[in-house]
Amino acid sequence: MNAALAISATGLTRRFGKVTAVDGVDLAIPRAGIYGFLGPNGSGKSTTIRLLCGLLEPSAGSVEVLGHVMPRDAERLRRQLGYMTQRFSLWDDLTVAENLEFMARIFGLGAAARRRRIAALADEYDLGRLLRQRAGTMSGGQRQRLALAAATLHEPELLLLDEPTSAVDPQSRRDFWESLFALVHRGTTILVSTHYMDEAERCHRLAILAEGRLVAEGAPRDLMSDIAAAVVEIEAEDVTAARAALADDEKIRSIAQLGTRLHALLDLDTPDPQGRISARLGGAGVTARVQAVPASLEDVFVVATGFRGSQAPVPVQH
Amino acid sequence: MLDRISAVMVKEVRQLARDRLTFAMIVGIPLMQMLLFGYAINFDVRDLRAAVVDEAGTSLSRAIVADLQASGIVAILAPSAGVADLRRRMSAGEISVGVYIPPDFERRVLDGTRPAAQLLVDGSEPMVDSVAKGVAAIPLPRRAGLYGTPAPVFEVRPEYNPERRTAVQIVPALIGMILNMTMVIFTSAAIVRERERGNLELLITTPIRSGELMAGKLLPYVGIGLVQTTLVLFVGSLLFDVPVNGSYLDLYLAAALFIASTLTLGLVISTFARTQFQAFQLAFFTMLPSILLSGFMFPFDGMPEAAQWLAQVLPLTHFNDMVRGIVLRGAPITDLGTQVAKLAAFLVAGLAIATLRFRKSLD
């Protein structure tokens, strides 16, 4: 196995009865970076993470995590793995200090190491004043800092974070991501699932999941520049009229409204997307400013997930 | 390994100490049941309200009424004018026993072929019927000039509980009932709660082994069970004057073995239940046969064979045997080898089932 890879998977599949939650996913996740799973709810992000840490057994396919074959060597991986569940899963009725103390003992840290690590993490994640407070009485951001502290007590090589910021305000999210970059700087590999575009854009690499399948993979910048669609922005006085004029164009695969602007995705083989739209709007008597713009990550997501709601799915890059 | 077990134990005890409701139940359930069973459920019925219609009015009829009164089984209220009035008072719930002594009472007594007097009994009350039979068995008082009234051949002299007080039989068995109830509910709920709240998902990804987790979670409850045992014995001796004839060490050894077996039952339940509510239901489901079939309330020998077989797989049956033996008959635990072996078998089987079913994964 490639020593530069933290995680490698081939054909990873997990079925629950008739439902296939994860369907033939291949992964090659490099070390010391932040790797993102982007996808809507039910796209298989959480199931994939659970397969990677041995919480679930795959129905088919193979996974190696930090050189351990999963789920066979799951127990050997434990010490090198930090896991933050989607839901806060420390104990509400224990204080911050008690929660950290408990997790440190579970990970087999000796008394001196425990004191040192808890003090260091309380300092790093601003938990010093909260040590004697019960976790159940804290805010979403504070709980999340506690959960991150608990997951990194034993200085894991790999950190799996399942939608860590879903219950957190924007400022806490920013701080949280700063903490993640600090961890990566020290050599930690981080795998994070999210459904926020701005978070996905911060990742070193990204996998877009839809209905259990990996539909796009790469660095966010590459994904945006290599998008398999033409992106056109329309600024019209009468947005509704503009929208109506473009509604039945077979080359337009998706239109999203952003305030007074419309954001259209057209088939990549459209000869002159900008001209085509200008002509259409002109024909309908709608005055608008039309320009080609670079794709956003959201555009990549819309293309990769096959223009949800449109008739024919377009082939996507893989 | 020991450090991880003790980490889990410390956590459990802390959580328990903060969970005021559960903490109150640990003390509250034994106290409530002691008072409930000790005072309210009393199989030797006393002071049934009774009224007498004495149409004979002879010295013999007055003597028999006095004997009835003296037996303590009935408390005789104001006399009635006639049978119709007796029936009315019984239907109104004022009395549950009516004594009718007809005018020709003396002749009937001498005759010996017909019943001398009538006992009207309220059959709607469960215990009254058997009591009435006891009343009917009271022999006629010996009086000069009367013959043909046989005195009882045997003197009944009960062993171990000479006054035949129900509390003496009930309280030791209550130890088992209370432990059975609290241990199964608390342990199954304690484990299922962690699954429900998502704590287990996190714990599974840590190096802790299932055995360590189980041991750490169960051991505090052994201590709690022994505290409850002490509480029942203390209150039993304080309020109901129940003696402990055997050795305390034997009693606590038996209790510890029983606690361990009920804990494994809780453990097995926790591997089936997905929510705390389900765990509670399952615990209740196992509790009912334990209460009814273990010989706690109804004599074991009177049960149909199928029920006796079922009772054999209930740990409470064997613990009740042991605890009555130790507390009332003063038997040493070494005399109770069969029961010890049966409880130990239950413990081993329970642990095996729980370990097979509890795997460190979410599947």
A112-121, A164-173, A288-297, B268-277: which has the highest mean pLDDT?
Answer: A112-121
> Is B15 within 8 Å of A93 when comparing Cβ atoms?
yes
Q: Among candidates A214, A274, A285, A207, which has minimal Cα distance to A244? A: A285
Contact B50, B74 (CB under 8 A): yes
Calculate helix-pair angle for A273-283, A239-246, nearest 10 degrees: 110
Shortest distance between the Cα of A299 and any Cα of chain B, in A, equals 35
More confident residue, B157 or A20: A20
pLDDT at residue number A311: 37
- Residues of B in Cβ contact (< 8 Å) with A90: 199, 202
pLDDT at res. B164: 57
Report, as an integer, the average pLDDT of A19-23.
94
3-class SS of residue A132:
coil
> What is the per-residue pLDDT for A104?
96
Q: Which residues of B touch A159 (CB under 8 A)?
A: none
Of A74, A89, A92, the CB nearest to B201: A89
Is the pLDDT at B195 greater than 90? The verdict is no
Over the stretch A172-215, which tens digit does the pLDDT of each residue have?
A: 899 999 999 999 999 999 999 998 999 999 999 999 999 999 99
In total, the C-beta contacts within 8 angstroms joining chain A to chain B are: 71
- Please give the mean pLDDT across all residues of chain A: 90
d(CA A195, CA A217): 15
Q: What is the DSSP string of A21-32?
A: EEEEEEEEEESS
- Strands (DSSP E) contained in chain A are 5-16, 19-30, 34-38, 60-65, 68-70, 81-84, 158-162, 189-194, 205-210, 213-218, 230-236, 252-258, 261-266, 288-292
Percent of the residues in chain A that have a pLDDT greater than 90, as a whole number: 66
Tens-digit pLDDT profile for residues A110-150: 999 999 999 999 999 999 999 999 999 999 899 999 999 99
Our CA-based measurement puts residue B262 at a distance from the nearest CA of chain A, in whole angstroms, of 26
Q: Reply yes or no on whether the pLDDT at A21 is more than 50.
A: yes
SS3 assignment, position B263: helix
Among the partner-chain residues A56, A92, A94, the one whose CB lies closest to the CB of B11 is A94
Q: Is A94 in contact with B15 (Cβ distance < 8 A)?
A: yes
Residues of B in contact with A94 (CB under 8 A): 11, 14-15
pLDDT digits (tens, 9 = 90+) for A267-287: 988 889 989 999 988 888 888
Prior bond of A71 cis (ω within 30°): yes
Separation in Å, CA of A315 to nearest CA in chain B: 35
Chain A residues lying within 8 Å of B206, measured CB to CB: 78, 103, 106-107
Mean pLDDT for the stretch of residues B182-201: 87
Length of chain B: 363
Backbone angles phi, psi at B234, to 5 degrees: -65, -50
Residue B12 has pLDDT above 50, yes or no: yes
Q: Considering only CA atoms, which of A189, A201, A239 is closest in space to residue A80?
A: A189
**What rounded mean pLDDT belongs to chain B?**
80
Reply yes or no on whether the pLDDT at A225 is more than 70: yes
Helix (H) or strand (E) holding B48: strand B48-54
Give the chain B residue nearest A88 (alpha carbons): B198
Asked if residues B129 and B123 have their Cβ atoms less than 8 Å apart, the reply is: yes
With CA atoms as reference, the chain A residue closest to B1 would be A108
Give the mean pLDDT of A222-245. Answer: 90
Contact list in B for residue A56 (CB cut-off 8 A) is: 361-363
Is the pLDDT at B201 greater than 70? The verdict is yes
Long-range contacts formed by B237-244: CB under 8 A, 24+ apart: B239/B34, B239/B35, B239/B38, B240/B34, B240/B38, B240/B165, B240/B167, B240/B168, B240/B171, B241/B167, B242/B167, B242/B168, B242/B171, B242/B172, B242/B327, B243/B168, B243/B327, B243/B328, B244/B326, B244/B327
B40-80 per-position pLDDT tens digit: 665 566 677 888 888 888 888 888 888 778 777 778 888 88
Q: Is the pLDDT of residue A221 over 50?
A: yes
Q: Minimal Cα–Cα distance from A169 to chain B, Å?
A: 22
ipTM of the complex: 0.81
Chain B residue numbers with beta carbons less than 8 Å from the beta carbon of A153 are none
Q: B197: left (phi > 0), else alpha (psi -120 to 50), else beta?
A: alpha
| Averaged pLDDT for residues B225-239 | 89
Compute the average pLDDT of residues A1-12: 84
The alpha-carbon gap from B188 to the nearest alpha carbon of chain A, in Å, equals 18
pLDDT one-digit tens code per residue, B132-177 = 566 666 666 555 444 554 434 344 444 555 555 666 777 888 888 8
pLDDT (tens digit, 9 = 90+) per residue, B246-263? 889 999 999 999 999 999
B10 CB neighbours in chain A (<8 A) are: 102
In this prediction the pTM is 0.77
The answer to whether the CB atoms of A78 and B3 lie below 8 A apart is no
| B20 part of contact set with chain A, CB < 8 Å | no
Nearest-by-CA chain A residue for B4: A106
Per CB-CB distance under 8 Å, the chain B contacts of A89 are 197-199, 201-202
What's the mean pLDDT in B267-275? 87
B9, closest residue in chain A (CA to CA)? A102
